[in-house]
Amino acid sequence: MSDTHAQTVAFVRESMVPPADPPLGETGIFKWVRENLFSSWLNVLLSVLSIAFVVWALAHLLPWFLQSVWDAGSLTECREIRDARYGEGAASACFAVITERWNQLLFGFYPPEHYWRPVLAFVLFLVAVSPVLFQGLPRRLLAFTAIYPFIGYWLLWGGTIWGPLLVIAGFVIGWGAFRLAEPRLGTLAAAIAAILLPLAWWFFAVGPIAGDLAQIAPIGLVRIGSGDFGGFMLAFIIGVAGIALSFPLGILLALGRQSHLFIINKSCVGFIEIIRGVPLIVWLFTASLLLNYFLPPGTNFDLMLRVIIMVTLFAAAYMAEVIRGGLAALPRGQYEAADALGLDYWKAMRLIILPQALKISIPGIVNTFIGLFKDTTLVVFIGLLDPIGLSNAIRASTEWNGIYWELFVFIGLLFWICCFSMSRYSMYLERKLETGHR
C-alpha cells in the first residue's frame, strides 16, 4: 500500500504546518463561561437568576459590612457615628457591640483578672489534642493528653491542686494493684482489685486527705464556681467534655447492642432507643427539674456537670448507632478470621474489628460531634449563659437594646468555623486512612 502511495504522489510537504489557534469560543474564559454557565437554556435561566440573587444580596450586605462602626459605647452612639460618617440612615453594621462585649461573649462572667486561666487551658488543650489528631507528632505527647483533663479542670475551676493530684493517684493505685495482684491471684481478681481499690480511694480517702493537705500546704488557684462560666468558653467546655466522654461510651453501647448476650443486648437497645427518641431539650429539662428526684435526698450537684452528663449520654446513644453501622458493614470474614486466630473477644475487637469499623464510621462520628457541639446552645433554656444566652443578656441592657444581626453574625461565624473545621478534618482523616479496599 505505502509503496504505491509513495509513487503516485508527486509532492510531499517536508515541513509541518503550524497549528492554527483554536476558535475564540473554544478557549479560555469564553469556553469556561459557555460550558459552565450557559450550556443550555435551563442553565442560562439558572445562571441569570443566581447572578441576580448574588448581586442583590451583595448590594444589601456589602454596604452594611463595609460601613460598619467598630468603636462606640452604645447603639445610640453607634447611630450618631454612622450619621456623621456615612449620612443619615445609611446601612451600617454596629460591630462595636462585639468589641465592647468581646470578653463577655468569650468568657461570660468569669472574673477578668483570671482570664489567663481559660486562655492557658485552651492553649494546653490544643497541645493535648494535637497528638490525637495528627499521627506525625511524637507519641510521648499522649502522656500529656492523658493528664490534661485534670490540668484543664484545675485551671478552669481552681481550688487546691491536691484534689486533681489525688484523683490521678487513684489511677496509679489501680494500676499498682493490678500489677501486684496479677501474678499471685490471677487476672480476674487483679482486675476486680484494680477497679474496687481506686473507687474506694476516690469515695472515702480523697476528700479528707485533700482537705488535710490543703491545710498543710495551701497550693492552688482561686476557686471559681460554674455559675460564672459563660460565653464560648461554656459551649467549648461542654462540647469538648461531651465529645471526649461520649466516644468511649458510644463504642461500649454499640458493642453491647451487637452482643449475643440477651440481657446486655436488650438493655443497650432500650437505652439507645429511649435516649434517641426524646429531644435533647426534654433531657436537659429532666436534668434540671427531675434529677433531684432520682438522687438520694440532699444531693445537689452542679448544673453544668448535670448538663455535661446529659449531653454525653445523648451523644453516646447517637454515636452507638453510627458505630453499629460500621460494625455491621464489616464482612463476616473479619469476625471469623479473628476467631480463627484464637483471639478472645476484647482482643478481637481491639485489634481487628474496631479499627476497621471506626474507620468506616468516621463521617458519622464526626457528624455526631458537630451535632453535639451545635446542641450546646440549647443549655440557654435551663439558665446557663451560652453565647446565645449572653446575646439575650446584652440586648437586655440599655446600651445595646435593639441590636440583633451583629451578634447573630458573630456567634454564627464562630460556630461555623468550629463545625466546618471539624468536618474538613474528618475528610482529611478519611483520605489518610483510605487503604484502597473496603
Partner 1 sequence: MTTTAAEPPKQSFHLGQLIYDTRYRSLTIQIVALVLLMLFFSWLVSNTVQNLATLGKDFDFSYLGQRAGYDINQRLIDYSSESTHARAALVGILNTLLVAFMGCVAATIIGVIAGVLRLSSNWIVSRLMTVYVEGFRNVPLLLWIIAIFALMTEGTPQPRDFREGGTASMLLFDSVAISNRGVYVPAPVWGPGSLALGIVFVLSIVGIWAWRRYAHARQERTGEILPVFAVSLALLLVPSVLAYFVLGAPIGLDYPELGGFNFAGGLHLRNSLIALWLALSLYTGAFIAEIVRGGILAVSRGQTEAAFALGLRPRRTMNLVILPQALRVIIPPLISQYLNLTKNSSLAIAVGYMDVRSTLGGISINQTGRELEGMLLLGGFYLLLSLVISSAMNFYNSRVKLKER
260 scored as a contact of partner 1 (CB under 8 A) = yes
47 scored as a contact of partner 1 (CB under 8 A) = yes
Backbone angles phi, psi at 160, to 5 degrees: -75, 160
SS3 101: coil
Instruction: Tell me the angle at which helices 303-329 and 362-375 cross, rounded to the nearest 10 degrees.
Output: 160
306 scored as a contact of partner 1 (CB under 8 A) = no
Rounded to a whole number of angstroms, the minimum distance from the CB of residue 373 to partner 1 is 8
Rounded to a whole number of angstroms, the minimum distance from the CB of residue 71 to partner 1 is 24
Site string for partner 1, 357-396 (x = CB under 8 A): -------------x---xx-xx-xx------x--------
Three-class HEC string of 301-314: CCHHHHHHHHHHHH
| Cβ atoms of 139 and 131 closer than 8 Å | yes
63/158 with CB nearer partner 1:
63
Rounded to a whole number of angstroms, the minimum distance from the CB of residue 140 to partner 1 is 34
137/417 with CB nearer partner 1:
417
52 scored as a contact of partner 1 (CB under 8 A) = no
Phi-psi map region of 402: left, alpha, beta (phi>0 left; psi -120 to 50 alpha): left
43 scored as a contact of partner 1 (CB under 8 A) = yes
Across-strand partners of 159?
221
410 scored as a contact of partner 1 (CB under 8 A) = no
41 scored as a contact of partner 1 (CB under 8 A) = no
Which of 66, 90, 200, 289 touches partner 1 by CB under 8 A?
289
DSSP code at position 220: E
Phi-psi map region of 95: left, alpha, beta (phi>0 left; psi -120 to 50 alpha): alpha
Rounded to a whole number of angstroms, the minimum distance from the CB of residue 206 to partner 1 is 23
Which of 9, 12, 84, 263 touches partner 1 by CB under 8 A?
263
Residue 130, C-alpha cell as written in the block: 494535637
Q: Which region, judged by CB under 8 A, interacts with partner 1, from 15-23, 63-71, 176-184, 413-421?
A: 413-421
Site string for partner 1, 132-161 (x = CB under 8 A): ------------------------------
Residues counted in the chain:
438
Residues that contact partner 1, how many (by CB under 8 A): 55
Rounded to a whole number of angstroms, the minimum distance from the CB of residue 167 to partner 1 is 24
Rounded to a whole number of angstroms, the minimum distance from the CB of residue 320 to partner 1 is 14
10 Å CB burial of residue 284 (0-12, 13-18, 19+) is buried
| Cβ atoms of 299 and 251 closer than 8 Å | no
Alpha carbon distance 332, 329 (integer Å): 9
* Helical H segments across 286-361, by residue range: 291-294, 303-329, 332-340, 345-348, 354-360
Which of 264, 269, 309, 362 touches partner 1 by CB under 8 A?
264
Rounded to a whole number of angstroms, the minimum distance from the CB of residue 33 to partner 1 is 9
Residue ranges in 53-82 that form contacts with partner 1 under rule CB under 8 A: 53-54
Q: What is the DSSP string of 236-283?
A: HHHHHHHHHHHHHHHHHHHHHHH-S-HHHHHHHHHHHHHHHHS-HHHH
Rounded to a whole number of angstroms, the minimum distance from the CB of residue 67 to partner 1 is 19
Which of 22, 25, 28, 50 touches partner 1 by CB under 8 A?
50
Q: Please name the residues in contact with 422: beta carbons below 8 A apart, sequence gap of 6 or more.
A: 366, 369, 370, 373
Q: Please name the residues in contact with 369: beta carbons below 8 A apart, sequence gap of 6 or more.
A: 243, 315, 422
172/282 with CB nearer partner 1:
282
Rounded to a whole number of angstroms, the minimum distance from the CB of residue 417 to partner 1 is 8
Rounded to a whole number of angstroms, the minimum distance from the CB of residue 46 to partner 1 is 5
425 scored as a contact of partner 1 (CB under 8 A) = no
Site string for partner 1, 185-204 (x = CB under 8 A): ---x----------------
Q: How far is CA 300 from CA 243, 297, 308, in A?
A: 25, 9, 15
Helix (H) or strand (E) holding 169: helix 162-185
Backbone angles phi, psi at 42, to 5 degrees: -60, -40
Residue ranges in 267-286 that form contacts with partner 1 under rule CB under 8 A: 267, 273-274, 276-282, 285-286
Residue 112, C-alpha cell as written in the block: 477578668
401 scored as a contact of partner 1 (CB under 8 A) = no
Cα angle, residue 425 at apex, residues 423 and 427 outer, rounded to 5°: 75
Rounded to a whole number of angstroms, the minimum distance from the CB of residue 380 to partner 1 is 7
Binding site for partner 1 (CB under 8 A): 35-37, 39, 43, 46-47, 50-51, 53-54, 188, 260-264, 267, 273-274, 276-282, 285-286, 289-290, 292-297, 370, 374-375, 377-378, 380-381, 388, 404-405, 408, 411-412, 415-416, 419-420, 423
